[in-house]
């Protein structure tokens, strides 16, 4: 039952050394939720800040939870977010393969080596699959822990199915985390977790330790829910005589003070947020600040490009406290990003949303985008904001009354009756000509600009709140449609 030590020496010889190496190791079980994206981002930033190597590894050992297409979602999300990897399933690397199911033979060999070293044992007890995956049952209740070598050999020779379990020693285990410091755990609270299942596949807890070592990972970033497993990881590293990587446990992203974000409760994934009208850059910037804050000169800075995050990122800025996902804050970030885009770039991303409600191609999407840009928080707000261009909505005559603009139905009717012939007489229909004509008319009528502009805008749009002013709306609608709508407004006021 002895294992070939040359195999392990050859594996050790492949391990890259000398610089920071981090990995993002998602399970392809669905969408990239916000917590996952944050882990990917922090892991990438640690590598890039140190001039190190970032690895993508697919952890697919839990075959029952795999979702078709989930690997494509991972690749697409990482690419969209600019989180490029140096090694991974699609690009290869010195410690390939980077998909756990393709490393199956490796785990079996290391599990058997651990048995030989006295830190694991064969267990022939009947356990349910869930117990096998979790290893959560009392150590004292397992009679296989104390089987003699002869008894084990006999059972193996008889072809009895088995799992391999970690043999937790007596005493206590202390591990160090970059965020939480030193934590000591009494080993009596740790169970003899399953390392290798009956089907020959490893459990998550075993596979990630083996892979992290063999891939030369120097910093392991994961959620703080794995703090309780860290002592068992430490014991595995120590059993093999391996160097322990730097642990970076991040506190959870919460929906509110009591509840963690969860897809099961309808909390958004990265793809959901994109579909809800948020820009990738805004999502990333916001996610970076969910549990991390910059230091020094940048302590008060909120808006960061990805390149700026690389320079600013320092693990000591990661908080022990849970971060609450604040939708209003994300809206603010998104609005900042939308408003800072080049007009042409905004027009390009906005056009599909504009065309959801403005089907009439006579209306210029770029012109509509120009009036939207300063008044838009999310791209998905756009269709409802601009639907009045295609069809004038039914609106209440009360809309014409505005205290600040000093308008009421009587004043508004007079303004529209004065504006219609002036606009009809315009030979050129531009922003400037419409603006000058209406401002000139207000002066002539000796009223405030707003007293004229309010009823013109209400009649043109049929809405109290619009993404542009009267001049911009009229210019986009064109002369004939503007005059038609102003006549309809006047008729409504006369009724």
C-alpha 178: how far from its chain's center?
23
Contact of 323 with 256, CB cutoff 8 Å? no
Structure tokens at 124: 């022939």
Q: CA-CA distance, 196 to 162, in Å (whole number)?
A: 9
Q: Which residues of 233-259 are buried (b: 16+ CB within 10 A; e: fewer)?
A: bbbbbebbebebbbbbbbbbbbbeeee
Name the 3-class secondary structure at 469.
coil
Q: CA-CA distance, 263 to 272, in Å (whole number)?
A: 10
Query: Within 216-372, where are the H helices?
Result: 230-240, 270-275, 280-288, 306-312, 327-340, 343-357, 365-372
Name the 3-class secondary structure at 339.
helix
Establish whether 155 is a catalytic residue: no
Instruction: Give residue 118's region: left, alpha or beta (phi > 0; psi -120 to 50).
Output: left
Sequence-distant (≥ 6) Cβ neighbours of residue 318 within 8 angstroms: 42, 178, 179, 248, 250, 291, 292
| Percent of the chain that is helix, strand, coil (3-state, to 5) | 55, 10, 35
Q: 55 forms bridges with which residues in the sheet?
A: 23, 87
Instruction: Give residue 82's region: left, alpha or beta (phi > 0; psi -120 to 50).
Output: left
- Of these residues, 109, 112, 260, 263, which one is catalytic? 263
Name the 3-class secondary structure at 262.
coil
Q: CA-CA distance, 215 to 86, in Å (whole number)?
A: 13
Length of the chain: 495
C-alpha 444: how far from its chain's center?
56
Q: CA-CA distance, 144 to 165, in Å (whole number)?
A: 10
- CB atoms < 10 A from the CB of 169, how many? 14
Structure tokens at 47: 């590598």
- CB atoms < 10 A from the CB of 114, how many? 24
Contact of 269 with 34, CB cutoff 8 Å? yes
DSSP H or E segment with residue 116: helix 104-116
User: What Cα–Cα distance (Å) separates residue 184 from each residue in 47, 180, 187, 227?
Assistant: 28, 11, 9, 11
| Enzyme catalytic residues | 263
């Amino acid at each position: 039952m002895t294992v070939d030590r040359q195999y392990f020496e050859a594996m050790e010889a492949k391990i890259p050394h000398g610089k920071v190496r981090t990995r993002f190791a998602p399970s392809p079980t669905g969408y990239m939720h916000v917590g996952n994206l944050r882990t990917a981002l922090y892991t990438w930033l640690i590598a890039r800040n140190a001039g190190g190597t970032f690895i993508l590894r697919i952890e697919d050992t839990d075959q029952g939870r795999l979702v078709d297409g989930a690997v494509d979602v991972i690749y697409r999300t990482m690419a969209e977010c600019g989180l490029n990897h140096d090694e991974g399933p699609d690009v290869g690397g010195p410690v390939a393969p980077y998909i756990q199911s393709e490393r199956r033979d490796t785990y079996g060999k290391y599990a058997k080596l651990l048995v030989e070293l006295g830190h694991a044992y064969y267990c022939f007890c009947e356990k349910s699959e869930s117990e096998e995956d979790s290893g959560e049952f009392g150590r004292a209740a397992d009679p296989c822990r104390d089987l003699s070598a002869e008894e084990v050999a006999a059972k193996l020779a008889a072809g009895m199915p088995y799992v391999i379990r970690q043999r937790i020693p007596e005493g206590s285990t202390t591990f160090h985390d970059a965020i939480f410091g030193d934590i000591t755990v009494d080993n009596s609270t740790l169970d003899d977790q399953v390392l290798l299942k009956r089907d020959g596949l490893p459990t998550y807890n075993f596979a990630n330790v083996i892979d992290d070592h063999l891939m030369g990972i120097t910093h392991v970033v994961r959620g703080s829910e794995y703090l309780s497993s860290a002592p068992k990881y430490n014991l595995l590293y120590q059993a093999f005589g391996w160097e322990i990587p730097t642990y970076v446990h991040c506190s959870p992203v919460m929906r509110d003070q009591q509840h963690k974000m969860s897809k099961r409760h309808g909390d958004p994934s990265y793809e959901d947020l994109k579909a809800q009208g948020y820009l990738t850059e805004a999502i990333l910037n916001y996610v970076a600040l969910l549990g991390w804050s910059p230091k020094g000169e940048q302590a008060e800075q909120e808006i960061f490009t990805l390149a700026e995050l690389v320079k600013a990122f320092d693990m000591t800025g990661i908080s022990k406290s849970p971060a609450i996902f604040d939708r209003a804050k994300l809206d603010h970030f998104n609005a900042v990003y939308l408003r800072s885009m080049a007009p042409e770039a905004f027009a390009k991303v906005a056009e599909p949303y504009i065309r959801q409600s403005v089907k009439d191609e006579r209306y210029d999407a770029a012109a509509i985008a120009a009036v939207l840009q300063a008044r838009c928080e999310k791209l998905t707000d756009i269709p409802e904001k601009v639907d009045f261009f295609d069809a004038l909505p039914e609106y209440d005559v009360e809309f014409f009354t505005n205290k600040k603009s000093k308008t009421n139905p009587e004043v508004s009717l007079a303004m529209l009756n004065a504006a219609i012939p002036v606009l009809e007489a315009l030979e050129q229909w531009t922003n400037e000509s419409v603006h000058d004509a209406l401002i000139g008319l207000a002066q002539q009528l000796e009223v405030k600009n707003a007293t004229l502009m309010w009823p013109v805008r209400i009649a043109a749009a049929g809405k109290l709140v619009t993404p542009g002013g009267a001049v911009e709306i009229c210019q986009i609608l064109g002369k004939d449609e503007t005059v038609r709508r102003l006549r309809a407004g006047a008729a409504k006021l006369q009724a």
